Amino acid sequence: MPPTLQGTFHTYRPIRRLGQGAFGEVSLASVLETGDVVALKRIHIRNTSGIPVVVVREIKALQSVSHPNVVALLDVFPKGQAIYLVQEYCTTDLAALLRRLPAPPPERIAKGLMLQLCRGLEALHAEGIMHRDVKPSNTLLSASAGAAKLADCGLARPLDGGERPAYTHAVATRWYRAPELLYGARSYGPAVDIWALGLVFAELLGLSPLIPGDNDIDQLGRVIATLGSMEPVWPGVRELPDWGKIAFPPAEPVPLGQLLPGASEPALHFLARFLSYNPAQRITAAEAVRSDYLCSQPPLPADEAEIGCWLLGCMEQAEAASAALKAAAAKSALGAHPVVQLQMQQGQQQGQQQGQGQDRPAEAEAELQRRQRQRPPQPLAVCWESLPLA
């Protein structure tokens, strides 16, 4: 739904902080009138520079597109030295989910998520908008709706209708950056989003980034080492601005089946259509939505209801694992620190004796002081990372 542009800060009740971004923070909030839960993004406005251009781009892009697989901008309003964006709230993002999965999702689920993302990208491209930062952390997941949604359109850009449009090549997160961008292209199109979405799909199939470069040159070298030399299949690469600045040894492509041994042959064939070096030969979002792989080849993509149930199951497993980890860590910590254990025992005794006017036994006090003079054993190495997906 398009933003109302009529809300104020008092329309919403902040609940808790969700995270911090480059230009502000995101909070969970509720709509006072309806009780609906939303995400409230606060962007600080500096007097010297005004509203950041990436924020303007995100607002314009989300105002232009209304689609179930693109995160909805519900409201925009100013308050003091800040502007607030109200967006629909989603349970988690794909990057967080993949970090916690013990194994890749079933192919039905992967196909269902990919179909939704292709639909969202098709909607953006149909409106003449390039996202330019497609990646797992910019893919939000709603367990209640069973939906995947493209988000964070801060790098989105309308397509220029000129014959040779000029854009910046410094877009897209490195691991998902198309080869034309790595070679400094300033004239490019929606195919950069297709390359990135292909690598998101590869991550769904294998749980880890397919081509994780350390810097731009390393990224380009890894692309070539993984997918082979570019010249034989893409002669136009020689015309890109940064071609020839650094030479890489000839390389043969590594079969995708070796890189993703658990993926089916149809899935690998579908992935290859996203990772064509030549942008003109990459599949389009509209073609992907109507492809045999997503439309007719078994297993068929999971629908929203099945995806929602699967996401809820993942969240419950993560919460159970988190509770078990914390219980084990607490038990280990107590076993490693007798002083702490004694203090807890004495706290329990005091609780039982409260109101009876009894002091701590002298022998317990002496034992505690003796232990405090001793050097406690080194604590166990315990991972306290929170696992819940919400």
- Using an 8 Å Cβ cutoff, are 82 and 9 in contact? no
- Which among 36, 75, 93, 133 is annotated as catalytic? 133
**CB proximity list for 272: less than 8 A, separation 6 or greater:** 256
Residue 375's contacts (CB-CB under 8 Å, 6 or more residues apart) are none
149 is in an annotated binding site: no
Q: Which long-range contacts (CB under 8 A, 24 or more apart) does 306-309 make?
A: 306/108, 306/109, 306/112, 306/146, 307/109, 307/112, 307/113, 307/146, 307/147, 307/148, 308/142, 308/143, 308/144, 308/145, 308/146, 309/146
Q: φ and ψ at 240, to 5 degrees?
A: -75, 150
The alpha carbon of 359 is separated from its chain's Cα centroid by a whole number of angstroms, namely 55
**Which residues pair with residue 26 across a beta bridge?**
19, 41
**Structure token pair of residue 242:** 């940064």
133 catalytic per annotation: yes
The rounded distance, in Å, linking the Cα atoms of 74 and 30 is 13
- Of 287, 275, 292, the C-alpha closest to 126 is 287
Q: How many CA atoms lie within 13 A of 119 on its CB side?
A: 17
Residue 152 and residue 138 in contact, taking contact as beta carbons nearer than 8 Å: yes
What is the 8-class DSSP label of residue 248?
A: -
Among residues 123, 202, 154, the alpha carbon closest in space to that of 54 is found at 154
CA diameter of the chain: 90
In which element (H, E) is residue 189 found? Answer: none
Any idea how long the chain is? 390
> Peptide bond preceding 52: is omega within 30 degrees of 0, i.e. cis?
no
Angle at 364 between CA 361 and CA 369, to 5 degrees: 130
Q: What are phi and psi of 82, to 5 degrees?
A: -145, 155
**Residues marked as binding for ATP?**
41
Catalytic machinery residues: 133
**Residues marked as binding?**
41
